[in-house]
Amino acid sequence: MTTPATYDEFKRLNMRLDMSRGKPSPEQLDLSRALIDEAGTAGFMSRDGIDCRNYGHVLGLPEAREFGAQLLDVDAAQVVAAGNSSLELMHDALVFAMLHGVSAHVSNHAPWSRQREVAFLCPVPGYDRHFAICEALGIRMIAVPMTQDAPDMDAVEALVKHDASVKGIWCMPLYSNPSGAIWSRTTIERLAAMPTAANDFRLFWDDAYRFHHLTGTRHATPGIIELCEQAGHADRALVFASLSKVTLAGGGVAFLASSRRNVDWWQRHASIRTIGPDKLNQLRHVRYLRDREGLEHLMAKHRALLRPKFDAVVAEFDTLLADVPGVSWNRPEGGYFISLYAPKGHAKRTVALAADAGLVLTPAGAAYPYGRDDEDRHLRIAPSFPSLDEVTLAARGIALSLRRALEDGAALVAE
Amino acid sequence: MTTPATYDEFKRLNMRLDMSRGKPSPEQLDLSRALIDEAGTAGFMSRDGIDCRNYGHVLGLPEAREFGAQLLDVDAAQVVAAGNSSLELMHDALVFAMLHGVSAHVSNHAPWSRQREVAFLCPVPGYDRHFAICEALGIRMIAVPMTQDAPDMDAVEALVKHDASVKGIWCMPLYSNPSGAIWSRTTIERLAAMPTAANDFRLFWDDAYRFHHLTGTRHATPGIIELCEQAGHADRALVFASLSKVTLAGGGVAFLASSRRNVDWWQRHASIRTIGPDKLNQLRHVRYLRDREGLEHLMAKHRALLRPKFDAVVAEFDTLLADVPGVSWNRPEGGYFISLYAPKGHAKRTVALAADAGLVLTPAGAAYPYGRDDEDRHLRIAPSFPSLDEVTLAARGIALSLRRALEDGAALVAE
C-alpha cells in the first residue's frame, strides 16, 4: 500500500472506510466461531432442568445470572441476565425511572417525569449513546469535565449537593469511552459517599470495558455496589455490562447488577414488558465461556488482535502530529477508543476533510451532550474494526486531514 | 389413571399442575429441534453479506423483515423484525407514544403522557398482559363487551367519536385470547374507517394466533393496514406478531408491521434504545422456516398435538357441565385458550377449589381490566402445556370444582 505524505495524496487513494463506531472486527468475531458452529451442543435444558425453549425467568437463566455475578463480583441475586444489549438495559432503566420512579427504600419516590425537572451529569468527553437517551427523554444534561483520570469530583459534588433535580450521573469507570480513563479509588469512593440533594439519585455505571485490557495489566476498579452499600446508599448504583465485545456484538448477553431492592424494582417493571429473555442464548454463552477464567482467556485473544491497531494509530500520530502545537492524544490501556484533540476550532473541519477522502469518522462533538463540543477540539478514533493495514492508513489520513485543516485555517488568517 | 367422579375424589389425586399460562408443550417445542440441534448450519453471513455477528440493522435483518412481510401480507419496508417477544414491542410502542407521541402526518402529536388523560378500549374478556401494560402506564381502561364474534362496535364507535382521550383499542382479530373469536370483515372495516375524536388514535393489533388454527379451516382476517390506508387512516394500525408459539417460546422472533411512517417513527425511537436485534437468531429462523409454506407445514404439526387437548377439555365439559344452568364454554377454532363461563359469582370460588386440589388456573378476573370481572363468571383455560392425559384430568377437575362451587353456593342459600 502506498504511504501518502500529504492530504491530497491520501485523498487520491479513494479510501472507503467507516470508522465511526467501535465495532469488533471479523477476526475478533471469529474467536467465538464455536459459539455459532457448535451452538447445537449447548442443547436447551439448563443445569436446573429449566427448558430454555419455553417462556419465563424474567431475570434470566439462573446460571447466566451466576456467571454475571462472577464477572461483576456480586451475588447472583443482585444480577439480571437479559438480551443482547446493555444499552437497552440503560435505556429501560431510565424509562422506568421516568415513568414509575426508582426503587423506594423508606419513602416513595415519584416518577421522575412528574418532578419539575430532571438533570443528569455527563462527564465529557463521554459516550454519545448515553447522551442520546437523555436527550430523547428530555433529561437536561450538565457537562462535567474529565480531569486526568476521572470526572472533576469537586464539580460533581457541588452540583449534586444542592440541586435535587440532578438525578444521576453517567459513569464509565474503566477505560472510559472515549478517553480511556481509569477512575481512581478516591473518585469512586467519593461517588458512592457524596451527599445528594435528590434522595433518588442514581449512578448509571456502564462497566462496558471491564475485561477489555490492551496491556498486560488487568486494571480493575473498586466494586461500586459494595462501596455504595457501605456508604449507606445501597440503591445508588446500577451497573451495566455486556458480552457484545466478548463474543458476538449482535448476539451477546447483557447484565444489570445492583442492590436486591433494585433488582426487585427492575423485575416489577420488566415483567410488564416481557415474559423473559432468550434463555437459549444465555445457555449457549454460559456453556461456551464457562467461567471468568474462560472469558479472560478469550479476552487475551481479543487483545492480541486489538493492541497492534491501537499501537499503529498512536505511532502514526507520533510521527505526523508530534510537532503540531495544541494537538494531543491518549494511549489507552483498554477499551475501544482513542481520543485525539485538535487545536481549538479544528475538529469538525478535520472530520469533513477525512470524509471528503472517503474516511468516515465519528462526527465531531458526538462525545458531548447535544453534540456540542464548544471548543471543537475532540475527535473519537475507533481502531477496532478495520484491518491493521487499513487502520494504519486511516490514522495517517486522519493526521493528514488535521494538518490540512490547520493549514486551511492558517491561510484564512493570513488572508 | 383413575377417573374422579366428585371434587373430593379429584382432590385426593393430589394433582400438581400449573395451567395458568398459555405455554407450548415440550412436544410442540420438540417440533423445532432442528432449529437448536442444527443451529450451526445457519452460519452468520446473511444473503446480502451482512455479518449477523456484528452491530447494526435496528429494524432487523432484511430477509427476516421479508419473511415477516410474507407472513403478514405487507411490504418488507413496513415490517420490523425484532427480539424474542411481541409483548416487548407492544409495551415499547405504548411507552414511545406516552413519552414522545405517535408518528405525525400533518401536525405534530403531543406525547400522550402530556395530554390530560389517556384511555384505551379493552374488549373483554381479553389478554391480561395487554391490560397490565395499560395499568402500569396509567392508561385508563374502558371495558367493551365482546359480542358473538367481535367487540360491540356500536359501543366502540360511540366511545371514540367524542372522547379525544381515547387513544387506542386492543385488538386480537383472530382466535382472540381468551374467547377464540374470529372478528368479522364488517367489524374490521368499521375499526379502520370509524371517525375518532383523537387524531392520534391507534389500533394495537395483536395478531398472535394468525397461523394457529385448530381445525382444517385456515381462517384469516382482512389486512388491517391496507384497510386503514384505504379509509384515509394510514397510520392507525400497529400490527404485532411473533414466532414464539411457532418455534421457541423463549427464543423466537417478533414482528411489528405498520405504515412506512410508523416504521420510521419506530426506528427513530428504537435506535435510541438499541444498536440492533439478535440477527443471528433471525437468520437461524429464516433458514429453518424458509417461507410461509414452511411455517404452515410446521403449524399443522402443532395442530395435531393441540387439537386432541382442546377436544378433551370440551368433551369433559360436555360430559360434566352440559346439565348445569348458566354454564357455557366455547369450542375455539384456533388460538390457545378456552373460555369457561360459570354462573354469576362462581368463577373465583372455582379457581380456589381447583388450587386446593393442586391445579393452578389463571386467576379469575384476569381477562378483565384491573382484574375485575364484575360478574365473577369467566375462567380462562389453557390446554396447551399439559400432556393429553393430564389435561383431560384437569378439565374434569375444573368441571368438578365448578360443580362443587355451585353446591357450596346452593348450600349457603339453603341455610
Chain B interface includes A114 (CB < 8 A) = no
- Same domain, yes or no: A159 and A299: no
With an 8 Å Cβ cutoff, are A85 and B274 in contact? Answer: yes
- Same domain, yes or no: A199 and A260: yes
What CATH number should be reported for the domain holding residue B151? 3.40.640.10
- Same domain, yes or no: B41 and B189: yes
* Distance in Å, alpha carbon of B244 to nearest chain A alpha carbon: 9
- Same domain, yes or no: B87 and B207: yes
With an 8 Å Cβ cutoff, are B250 and A84 in contact? Answer: no
Sign of the four-CA dihedral A40, A43, A47, A52: positive
Residue A210 within any structural domain of the chain: yes
- Same domain, yes or no: B127 and B101: yes
User: How high is the pLDDT of residue B108?
Assistant: 64
Instruction: Give the pLDDT band of residue A108 (cuts 50, 70, 90).
Output: low
Residue B243 within any structural domain of the chain: yes
Contact B283, B42 (CB under 8 A): yes
Does the pLDDT value for residue A346 go beyond 90? yes
Selected for mutation to probe chain A from B50, B59, B133, B272 (highest A CB count within 10 Å) is B272
Residue carrying the nine cell digits 480493575 = A220
Residue window 234-293, chain B: list those with CB within 8 Å of chain A: 244, 248-251, 269, 272-281
3-state secondary structure (DSSP) of residue B338: strand
The angle subtended at Cα A252 by Cα A246 and Cα A256, nearest 5°, is: 95
Of B21, B53, B95, Cβ closest to residue A250: B53
Integer Cα distance of A119 and A141 in angstroms: 6
Which of B294, B328, B361 lies at the terminal end of a domain, its last residue?
B294
**Within a 10 A sphere around the Cβ of A12, how many other Cβ atoms?**
12
* Distance in Å, alpha carbon of A100 to nearest chain B alpha carbon: 8
Residue type (1 letter), B56: G
Q: What is the CA radius of gyration of chain A?
A: 22
Residue A29 within any structural domain of the chain: no
- Same domain, yes or no: A45 and A129: yes
Residue A360 within any structural domain of the chain: yes
According to DSSP, the β-strands at B328-329 and B338-341 are antiparallel
Instruction: Give the pLDDT band of residue A410 (cuts 50, 70, 90).
Output: confident
Chain A interface includes B113 (CB < 8 A) = yes
User: Count of domains in chain B?
Assistant: 2
Residue A34 within any structural domain of the chain: no
User: How high is the pLDDT of residue A342?
Assistant: 98
User: How high is the pLDDT of residue B410?
Assistant: 82
Mean of the per-residue pLDDT values for chain A? 96
Of B24, B54, B275, Cβ closest to residue A29: B54
What CATH number should be reported for the domain holding residue A405? 3.90.1150.10
Instruction: Give the pLDDT band of residue A204 (cuts 50, 70, 90).
Output: very high
Residue window 26-55, chain B: list those with CB within 8 Å of chain A: 26, 29, 32, 36-40, 43-44, 51-55
Integer Cα distance of B315 and B304 in angstroms: 17
Show residues of chain A in contact with B136, CB under 8 Å: 99-100, 269, 272
Residue type (1 letter), B31: L
Question: Nearest CA to A339 among A194, A178, A186?
Answer: A178
With an 8 Å Cβ cutoff, are A88 and B273 in contact? Answer: yes
Instruction: For residue B125, give every residue at least 6 positions away whose Cβ sits within 8 Å of its Cβ, in sequence order, or none.
Output: B146, B178, B179, B339, B367, B368, B373, B378, B380
With an 8 Å Cβ cutoff, are A26 and B113 in contact? Answer: no
Contact A253, A282 (CB under 8 A): yes
Residue ranges of chain B with per-residue pLDDT less than 50: none
**Parent domain of B236:** 34-294
- Same domain, yes or no: B167 and B315: no
Which of B252, B278, B294 lies at the terminal end of a domain, its last residue?
B294
Show residues of chain A in contact with B38, CB under 8 Å: 40
Of A250, A275, A281, Cβ closest to residue B54: A250
What helix, strand, coil percent values describe chain B, rounded to 5? Answer: 45, 15, 40
- Same domain, yes or no: A110 and A158: yes
The dihedrals phi and psi of B410, each to the nearest 5 degrees, come to -65, -40
Integer Cα distance of B393 and B313 in angstroms: 9
Show residues of chain B in contact with A56, CB under 8 Å: 250
- Same domain, yes or no: A119 and A172: yes
Chain A interface includes B92 (CB < 8 A) = yes
User: How high is the pLDDT of residue A105?
Assistant: 67
User: How high is the pLDDT of residue B99?
Assistant: 94
With an 8 Å Cβ cutoff, are B85 and A275 in contact? Answer: yes
> Which DSSP category does B415 fall into?
-
Residue B1 within any structural domain of the chain: no
- Same domain, yes or no: B52 and B190: yes
* Average pLDDT over every residue of A318-333: 97
Inter-chain CB pairs, A–B, below 8 Å: 156
Q: H helices of B274-383, where? A: 279-289, 292-321, 347-356
Contact A197, A163 (CB under 8 A): yes
- Same domain, yes or no: A278 and A305: no
Residue A27 within any structural domain of the chain: no
Question: Nearest CA to B281 among B23, B63, B27, B24?
Answer: B63
- The three cell numbers locating residue A278: 432468550
State pLDDT tens for residues A66-103.
999 999 999 999 999 999 999 999 999 999 999 999 98
Q: Which residue of B has its CA nearest to A40?
A: B37
The angle subtended at Cα A121 by Cα A117 and Cα A127, nearest 5°, is: 120
Show residues of chain A in contact with B275, CB under 8 Å: 85, 87, 129, 249
User: How high is the pLDDT of residue A331?
Assistant: 96
User: How high is the pLDDT of residue A370?
Assistant: 97
With an 8 Å Cβ cutoff, are B29 and A51 in contact? Answer: yes
Instruction: Give the pLDDT band of residue A412 (cuts 50, 70, 90).
Output: confident
Residue B2 within any structural domain of the chain: no
- Same domain, yes or no: B254 and B360: no
Which of B294, B321, B340 lies at the terminal end of a domain, its last residue?
B294
